[in-house]
Every structure is written in structure tokens, then in C-alpha cells.
Chains A and B, each alone.
Chain A
Amino acid sequence: MKVYIFLIVALIYSNTFSQKVDTQYFMINEKDSLVTKLIDSSDGKISGYKIINEKKIIKKVRKPSNLTGDNIEYDAFEELFFSFNRKNDTIVNKHYIDELKILKTSREFLNLNKNFDETNTEFIFIEPKKCKNFILRKVRPIIFE
């Protein structure tokens, strides 16, 4: 009987686990020149991060400065943007952080993600604050068109 219960529990746990959204924690390093914090938008609530992927060259499109001009395409490092809403920030202490599996470099973060699929992964950026506190910041990849 115990074996059956164990198997059922294991099965339920397995199914639950397989559908669980993965969470990635990425520690923002102020000294990392490839990661830039974006200034606040006009309403002061939404901000973001820009991460430069120096391993990937893409075609960027520059808009013309007038209505009738042509676009200019040029090669550039890929830039990835992530937005967040401050009202969703959470402050935690070091003990909490110590329990997390954290990506510590932008390279680790970029290597781990190809499509930055937010339907399967929740992205949490961490910013160190004073007194050994940290901000946990849920971010969303920004899709451009």
C-alpha cells in the first residue's frame, strides 16, 4: 500500500513539476558594462534594463529623420530589453538570496536563453541595496516590431 501511495505522490509531483514555470534569478552587477539600467519613463513607473549580447551581431534599422527618407540598416551587437514595474518590486535580505540559484554574469544569463520565452520562464533581476538587502524585480522581455 505504501508503495502505491509513494508512486501516486511521485506521479503527481512529477506532473506538477513538469508544468511549473521555471524561474531565473539574475544578479545585476553595476560593474558589468554590458548591462545598463534604463531611466524612468514619463510616468515614472516603468523602467527597464538593456543587456548587450556581444556574441551576436544583428541587423538594426535606423529610422529616417524625416517622413520621406529611407531606413538605414547596419550591423550592431544585439541589445535585449527588459521592463519592470516598481510596484511589483520585493525587498529581501541576504539569507533569502543565499537560498536562490543565481546567475551572476550577463553571459550566463544570455547563454541560458535563446528566445526569452516568458511563458515558460519567469525572469527575476536582483539589485543589491544597502544593509545587505536586495531588490527582487520581476522583468518582462520587450518584444519589438
Chain B
Amino acid sequence: MFTTNCDKELVISDEIIEQIINQTDTEVKFVSFEDAPKAINAIISITGVASSKNGFQSKSVDYKKGFINLNSILKIRNYEGITNYSFQVTVDNAPINEFYNVVVSESKNGKVKDPYITKYVIDEDAVATFLENNRDFRYFKGKKHIIPFKRFFDDLDGLSNKSGDIDPCPPVETTIDNTLSTGLNGSIHNLSPTNFLQMNPLDYNYDYELQQGENFEIFLNSYDTNTGDPTSHTDIIANPQVNIASLAPTLPPMTVSTPIQLNYTGVTFVSVTRYTEFSYGNSSGSCYVIINKIYNNGATSSEKIVFECPPMEQNLHQDKPSKSSKVTVDTDPCPDEEGEVGVNLPLPNRCLNGGVMVNGECVDAPDKITNYLTGKADCVYGKMVDNNNNINWILENFEDGDNPSDFDLIFKMSNSLGSLTNAATVKIGNTFTIKINENRAENVNTTLTIARTIIHEGVHARLREFASRDESNETSFPGVYDYFRRFKKNWDHEQMAEHYRNTIAIGLKQFDNGQHSDEFYNALAWEGLATELIDENDPTGNSTFITEAWAAVQNKDEILNIIKEHKKNGNKNCQ
């Protein structure tokens, strides 16, 4: 499988290796309407006002004979800070072998480029397999077209260029075949250097026990510099990065790392394909590495890094195979891909409007808890859930199917909260989102403080879930209604201070394995409830008040000192 000419190793510059290593900064996730305002504004500036069908959960843009789904947006920000947002586009009477994305690119400095369309056309002989495998992009074989936004929709309306003028922006076409190499049981034979690889993750030695993600295979292709034949090497690397010590002879040692954040957004595999592409007869040409990632949730991305070609043996050039079928390089000033562009697939298990596919039909998804936490916060939350902490009971109503309500809960990090705000719980539509201040979690707070914050916010979500149910009334939840009647906007802090401090203290003691006295945990439970709240009912916004429960406390200084002492000396590491 491998050639053995060690004398002909090509050299990739340090800059390129550095670029590849820096892939760890790549961020891939699905975001919602509210998280992509600039991209959505760029679309709306062309199409007009976004429509809202059936509330916030169904934001979409109706435009001509298609509509753009604004709910489930695939966001990929690469290591250079370039962000691409991919939106699903549904088109009336679209052929079964086509699907479409709107892509909006945002530069590092926030400048947004014009939206464009990526159109995917599956080859006839691959349609059945692609559909049978739930539109998994690893089974995609066909063409990708980049089309100016307006022209795409004009074509749908039959308004395309009928004058016969030369098109100033001819569509860019790329051939993609992810079906050539199945890599059965880890073996790779005769890899095509012109295509990304298609691999079944189940065929490999994935380690699902890893906390941060899986091991994954990496595949390196290149041409043998003597014969021009494709060569390849495969190795298992673990997250976050492992040196690949032994490589195919034509490749130098290379370190590759990929971002693995959470299982559901983790990379299932990465293929790195290194091309050398020369224009024969002269020394010019281009060399590049393509990194192709497929994530557990079906998202894919690819990125091409161009670098200076290493010297080739001159007497071998005439033997090189034609490279005409390689991935097209878009040099057109019209729509142009930049950074990593995701493929937002119309997966059956990701119906529009947050639904799921059951027996071929989209139905409302059962409520669930989604964890997007990272770092210490993720570590603390994971320990709490795994160790039967009472957070499981507090949040039970968010993961019990649709009984008794259908509210979802999301945990995520935030960099936009105030310097002195540990967390916030936000309800929009049927989704509660607990946002944890990333800076405070990573750099300021102890693990016990993070646990307390998670319980505190969990109680917020629980109480508001009670209040938000369709059948909620003064009879079903008298406490909630009583506190709201008496305290208005701060009803939940008042109720928590009076009735849930013991719940918080028990959760802290469980998390901490009871290393301290009950007095200690009871004191910590006051944090967030002992401090003065801003009275939002005061039109000046300048008044403060304290919860009734805290006002009645006699030993305030003692409690505050315990909290302060813990902040100073408590454990800040989570392993």
C-alpha cells in the first residue's frame, strides 16, 4: 500500500503546519435565529422582511418560490476568524436529487459578504444510497454549484438571463465523491487523491469513553514523487492532538489537531488530503491541504489551505497523471468561498421548526436537555449529572418526553454577560437557555460555585417551567402565583430564597461529597440570593432591595464571610 522512497520526502513549511495545528480554534455548531443577526440581515436586505410562522420557532424567509429556514443555521468559524453561516433552503418542486444552502460569510472584523447559494446535485447512481443513509454527506457523490443569490431565485421564477448575454458570473462547479473509499476495517487501498474520503466511523477503533470526544482516523494522501501514483497513510489520532510519527514516505511528519467539543458536535473523522498540482511545462502550480471534517450531527465542513509547493523531481513531471478532475479552484470575483463552509443537510431527523422525523413524517420533538457547556462548567455539570446530583431531579421536567410539558433546556457558555454576572436563564418560546459566564467559570469561580450556579439557574428554569405550562394556574401552582402576585418580576428569587435554599445546599453537599459542614453549604446556598437585587419596577433603575428571606437573617456577616473565604480558598480545578 505504501511506497518506500524516503529520500523523496516533500517538505511542508512550518507556517503550514502551524496553520493546521491552529485548526483547534475552529468552531462548528448549529445556531438559532438570534445568534446570527448580521447574516440574517444580509439575507433580509435582499428578500425583504422575514416572516414568522407559528411563533419564534418557525422563523423563515419566504422568497419567490422558496423559503430559507432561519432556525437551524450551521455556523463554522475557522481559525482565521472567518465565519460562514449555512441556511437550509427549501424550493418548490425541487428534484429529489438536489438540495440547497444559502451561505453568508462574515469576516473576522464583522464585515458580511453578499449571500450566495450552494446547490448540491447528487449523481443519479448515488441518489438511492444517499437517501437510504438519511442524507448522510459521507454518501454524497455529485456536484456542488456556487450561484449568486439573486440569480438562483430568478431562475426559480423563470426570470433567468434570456437575452443570451455572456454571464458575468458563471456558476462555479465542484465535483465531490465521498463514496470512493469505504476504508473497511481501517484498510485503505488506492485512495483517489481527487476526492475526499468516505468512512464509516463504526469501522474504526473509536474510543467513546473519551471525555472530550472520540479518537478518530486521519488519512493522508499524496502523490509519490517518483511515480506520480497516489499514496496514503492512515493513523489513529486522539483528541486533541497526537503526533503522527510514521507517515507515508512522501509526507513529512505532521501534527494535526481538530476541535472536539462535545459528542454531538464532535468530529467523527477527519481526512486530510494533500495535493500537489502542477502545470506541466513550467514550475508554477499550487499545493494545498484539504481538511474535510464530518461531525456526529451530520454537519460537514472542508477547508483548503494553499501553500508553497515543494520542489519536484523535474524528470518525473511528464509522467504525472492528468489533474483535470481535481477540486475546482474558484478564481471568479463573483460568489467565492472563504473559510470553512458547512453543508446544512436536509436530514430527516432534523425537520424544520425543531421537529423530528417519525415514520417519514415530521412531528414535534420531545423536550430535551442539550449541553453546549465547555471547560470547567462542562466538567462540573457532567459530574453532577453522572453522580445522581439533585440537579437531575430539578431538571427532570425538561427530559421526560412531552410530559407534562414540552419545554427544552439548553446549557451554553456566554461571553456577553456582565463581568459580575455568573449566569442567566432566558426563556424564549419553548426553550429555556441557561447561559454560564465563560470568563467567570474559567478564571474566577470555584467548582463548587459553578455547581451552585448550575443548581441556582436550574431552579429558575424549573419554577418558570411550572409557570409557563398551558394548564398552569393558581390551583396547580399556588406558590408560584402567590410569589408573583406579591413580588412581581423578582418572584422567582424570592421563592428560591425562601423555599429552595435547602435544595441548593443538598446539591452542593452531594457534589462536594460532604467535605464540609451543613452550615458551610447552607451559607453558600445564599450566594445569588443574599445580594441585593435591582428593583426593575423602579423607573429610575437606581433602587435596590433584598429578598425577604435574606432581610430576616441575623448572621449576615457570618454567612458572607463563609462565602468570601470559600471564593478565596476553594478548589478551582475540575478533573
Cβ-closest chain A residue relative to B490: A63
CB 8 Å contact bits of A78-105 with B (1 = contact, 0 = none)? 1111010000000000000000000000
User: CB distance A65 to B527 under 8 Å?
Assistant: no
- B417 proximity list for chain A (CB < 8 A): 58-59
Most buried by B among A36, A71, A116: A71
Contact indicator A119/B568 (Cβ below 8 Å): yes
In chain A, what residue has the closest Cβ to B467? Answer: A67
Instruction: Give the one of B489, B527, B532, B564 with max A CB within 10 A.
Output: B532
**Which A residues are in CB contact (< 8 Å) with B489?**
63, 65
A41-79 toward B: CB 8 Å interface, digit per residue (1/0)? 111001110100100101111111101101101000011
Q: Are B428 and A70 in contact (CB under 8 A)?
A: yes
The answer on a CB contact under 8 Å between A145 and B528 is yes
Asked if A128 is an interface residue, CB under 8 A from chain B, the answer is: no
Contact at B542–A46, with CB atoms within 8 Å?
A: no
In contact, A141 and B422 (Cβ under 8 angstroms): no
Q: Which residues of A contact B34 (CB under 8 A)?
A: 73
Q: Do B544 and A41 touch (CB < 8 A)?
A: yes
Distance between Cα atoms of A125 and B191 in the complex (Å): 70
Whether A80 and B423, one on each chain, are in contact in the complex, defined by CB atoms closer than 8 angstroms, is no
Contact string, A104-131, partner B, CB cutoff 8 A, digits 1/0? 0000000000111111100000000000
A41–B564 Cα distance when bound, in Å, is 22
The count of A-to-B residue pairs whose CB atoms sit within 8 angstroms is 117
Interface of chain A: mostly helix, strand, loop or mixed: strand
Is the beta-carbon distance between B532 and A67 smaller than 8 angstroms? Answer: no
Interface pair B416/A116, CB less than 8 Å apart: no
CB of A55 to closest CB in B, whole Å: 12
Q: Given the complex of chains A and B, what is the CA–CA distance between A102 and B532 in angstroms?
A: 27
Instruction: Contacts A65-B489, A80-B419, A145-B456 given; indicate if A42 touches B551 (C-beta within 8 A).
Output: yes
Query: Is A39 an interface residue when CB atoms closer than 8 A count as contact?
Result: yes
Query: Which A residue's beta carbon lies closest to that of B440?
Result: A115
A38 and B544 in contact, given A68-B468, A73-B34, A119-B567 (Cβ under 8 angstroms): yes
Kindly supply a per-residue 1/0 record for chain B positions 4-26, scoring 1 wherever the CB is within 8 Å of any chain A CB and 0 otherwise. Answer: 00000000000000000000000
Residues of A within 8 A of B (CB): 36-39, 41-43, 46-48, 50, 53, 56, 58-65, 67-68, 70-71, 73, 78-81, 83, 114-120, 140-145
Q: Closest 9 CB pairs between A and B?
A: A119-B568, A145-B528, A67-B467, A59-B416, A144-B421, A63-B489, A71-B426, A142-B531, A58-B418
